[in-house]
Amino acid sequence: MRAHMKSRVLLSLFLLMFSAALPSIAAQYPVPEGGRVVAIKAGKLVDPEKGTTETNQIIVVRGRRIEAVGPRVPIPADAKIIDLSNSTVLPGMFDAHTHLCMTLKRERDGSSYYITTLLDPTPYRAVEGVANARDMLAAGFTTVRDVGNAGNYADTALREAIERGLVPGPTMLNAGRIIAPFGGQFHLQPEKQDLATPEYFFADTRDEMVKAIRENIHFGATVIKIVVDDQKYIYSADDIRFMVAEAHRYGLKLAAHCWTEAGAHNAAEAGVDSIEHGQMMTNEDLELAKKNHVVLVGTDFTEIAASRNGFPSLHPVFVDRLKRAYRIGVTMAFGTDAFISIPGETRGTQAAEYVDSWAEAGLPAKDTLRAMTINAARLLGVDRERGAIQPGLAADIIATPENPLDDIQAVRKVSFVMKNGVVFKND
């Protein structure tokens, strides 16, 4: 049955490719030839890890990778020149907490994504993922970590379609089915216990936890996502530690959704790779996360985003926790949790808006930009491949009219996007 469902998802994507939109996608997003050379003239070039800006730099890209960077790099005779002399150039951005294959529609679903999961079948959600992935890339997000809520592995189908060049989108890690105590994030009725599947994989015993992780891996998950709390019963630190070890055994990292103080404490104690949300974390929990090298992906809702999600009173809570985490020195990676349909906005423009919370919390632009690039790259385990503009790395390059180190709001005005050496956008 699962294989049949996956075939349906891939068929939906196949049909989408041969729709009227296919020629425009193919024209914008060709597969790069290994010998093709591009030389980018960068008026300003930002190094997010160092928090510095160099001027008048040349970036030579050969095929998918950066070949050379510097002020006096010779431009090959056969290079296509892209003149960004009036722009600021920087590595592509990361969103470490996305839900590309889910879009809550207010006019239909109210504020309940439970309704969304019931009404939107997996093939439709794969197509939603195609649209959201395209819009994320257009906004300058060249890498994302999709943390579930994708029906029956629509996220795997989307990732594979992007990797094969069928559709444009960011480099993607995906979680498959979210693992959770019985009920997941929903309250079920006794006679309708199956309504949370396949959205969640209920795992309450050690055997169920092992099965859930291995089944996810089998069906294409590249990261494991668990829900620690959201019910009266929650995973213990020992439960979480067991799942971390099982995921790490196969080379996958584990992200832990923590909406309560108790859940975040258990996750920090267990040493998960990342805590998602964690808005109720105490200073002691933040210190514990720092000690155990846990990355915080805070999904720090702006005032507008919190209102859209149905809990406006939580915005100041997120901002306060963001301030405290920064002061304590917890490593943070940028993630948004944007998943609502907003008229006049794309998934990408919504994601970029989340820098407002970081600015409101008083974080320096250089630290926000670091969270959006190298910190996230290290969390996702792709830092040897992406997250910086350096020779040998993938050519994931974006540009903005102004320097984000001077004003982080500049990342909301991305004018140029290159992913894997292919220009997707050039305004």
Task: Give 150-183 as a DSSP string.
Answer: -TTTHHHHHHHHHHTTSS---EEEE--SEEESTT
Q: DSSP secondary-structure letter at 75?
A: P
Residue 14 has pLDDT above 50, yes or no: no
CA angle 366, 344, 99 (to 5 degrees): 60
Give, in order, the Cα–Cα distances in Å from 21 to each of 11, 26, 126, 242: 16, 9, 16, 46
Domain 37-92+389-426, CATH among 3.40.50.300, 2.60.40.420, 3.20.20.450, 2.30.40.10: 2.30.40.10
Token pair recorded at residue 227:
């829900």
Q: DSSP secondary-structure letter at 19?
A: S
Residue 21 has pLDDT above 50, yes or no: no
What pLDDT was estimated at residue 28? 44
What pLDDT was estimated at residue 34? 62
What is the signed CA dihedral for 103, 107, 111, 117, rounded to 10 degrees?
-40
For 82-118, what is each residue's pLDDT tens digit? 999 999 999 999 999 999 999 999 889 988 989 999 9
Residue 296 confidence class, pLDDT cut points 50, 70, 90: very high
Sheet holding 397-400, edge to edge: 65-70, 52-62, 37-47, 80-91, 397-400, 416-419, 422-426
Q: Residue 60: left if φ>0, alpha if ψ -120 to 50, beta else—which one? A: beta
Residue 16 CA to residue 168 CA, distance in Å, equals: 13
Q: Which residues contact 223 (CB under 8 A, 6 or more apart)?
A: 145, 147, 173, 174, 175, 252, 253, 254, 255, 380
Residue 280 confidence class, pLDDT cut points 50, 70, 90: very high
Nearest to 399 by CA among 27, 44, 61, 70: 44
What pLDDT was estimated at residue 202? 97
Mean pLDDT of 385-399: 98
Mean pLDDT of 384-411: 98
Domain 93-380, CATH among 1.10.287.3510, 3.30.1050.10, 3.20.20.140, 3.40.50.700: 3.20.20.140
Q: Which residues contact 41 (CB under 8 A, 6 or more apart)?
A: 56, 57, 58, 81, 82, 83, 84, 85
Say what the pTM is: 0.92
Token pair recorded at residue 257:
């959704």
Residue 45 CA to residue 390 CA, distance in Å, equals: 11
Residue 19 has pLDDT above 80, yes or no: no
What pLDDT was estimated at residue 23? 35
CA angle 313, 319, 323 (to 5 degrees): 150
- Average pLDDT, rounded, for the chain: 93
Token pair recorded at residue 234:
């929650």
Nearest to 270 by CA among 317, 231, 226: 226
- CB of 20 closer than 8 Å to CB of 168: no
Domain ranges, ordered by start, for the chain = 37-92+389-426, 93-380
Residue 172 CA to residue 156 CA, distance in Å, equals: 9
Q: In degrees rounded to 5, what are phi and psi of residue 202?
A: -75, 130
Residue 133 CA to residue 155 CA, distance in Å, equals: 11
Q: How many CA atoms lie less than 13 Å away from 381 in the CB half-sphere? A: 14
Q: Which residues contact 363 (CB under 8 A, 6 or more apart)?
A: 322, 323, 326
For 34-49, what is each residue's pLDDT tens digit? 679 999 999 999 999 9
Residue 380 has pLDDT above 60, yes or no: yes
